[in-house]
């Protein structure tokens, strides 16, 4: 079955460390997105990509970086510049007007 796979499910980061969250889709979707979700808050857009080798900043891109070298993959790196990275991270994809599909999320905790 087609879908989006996010890994790992849980991730722990030490102070000053960079970590990378994986997002892979086999839906042949062109666009991919990264969202951050904090308790009691809505979804906030970090980065999005509409085609391979191109991506745009969302509302809260500071402290994050992405790449889109393949259509299927859109990894998110949380850098040491992100001072409050503890959150739930969601990846999504879409094609045209066909709606959005989400992964199961990665919970990142700073230790």
Partner 1 sequence: KQEVTQIPAALSVPEGENLVLNCSFTDSAIYNLQWFRQDPGKGLTSLLLIQSSQREQTSGRLNASLDKSSGRSTLYIAASQPGDSATYLCALPGGSYIPTFGRGTSLIVHP
78 near 11, Cβ under 8 Å? no
Query: Who's near 78: CB < 8 A, 6+ residues apart?
Result: 13, 18, 19, 20, 21, 63, 64, 85, 108
Q: Is 50 in the site for partner 1 (CB under 8 A)?
A: yes
Q: Is 2 in the site for partner 1 (CB under 8 A)?
A: no
What is the smallest separation between the CB atom of 16 and partner 1, expressed in angstroms?
27
100 near 78, Cβ under 8 Å? no
* Binding segment (CB under 8 A) for partner 1, from list 17-25, 61-69, 75-83, 85-93: 85-93
By C-alpha distance, which of 24, 6, 34, 4 is closest to 70?
24
Q: Is 97 in the site for partner 1 (CB under 8 A)?
A: yes
* Tokens 């191109």 -> residue: 54
Q: Which of 48, 55, 64, 74 binds partner 1 (CB under 8 A)?
A: 48
Residues forming contacts to partner 1 in the complex (CB under 8 A) are: 6, 31, 33, 41-43, 45, 48, 50, 56, 58, 88, 90, 92, 94, 97-105, 107
């Amino acid at each position: 079955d087609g879908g989006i796979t996010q890994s790992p499910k849980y991730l722990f980061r030490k102070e000053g460390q960079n970590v990378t969250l994986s997002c892979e889709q086999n839906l042949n979707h062109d666009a991919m997105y990264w969202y951050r979700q904090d308790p009691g808050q809505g979804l906030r857009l970090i980065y999005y990509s509409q085609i391979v080798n191109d991506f745009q900043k969302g509302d809260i891109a500071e402290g994050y970086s992405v790449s889109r070298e393949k259509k299927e993959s859109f990894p998110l790196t949380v850098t040491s510049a992100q001072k409050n990275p503890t959150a739930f991270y969601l990846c999504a994809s879409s094609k045209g007007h066909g709606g959005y599909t989400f992964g199961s999320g990665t919970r990142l905790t700073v230790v």
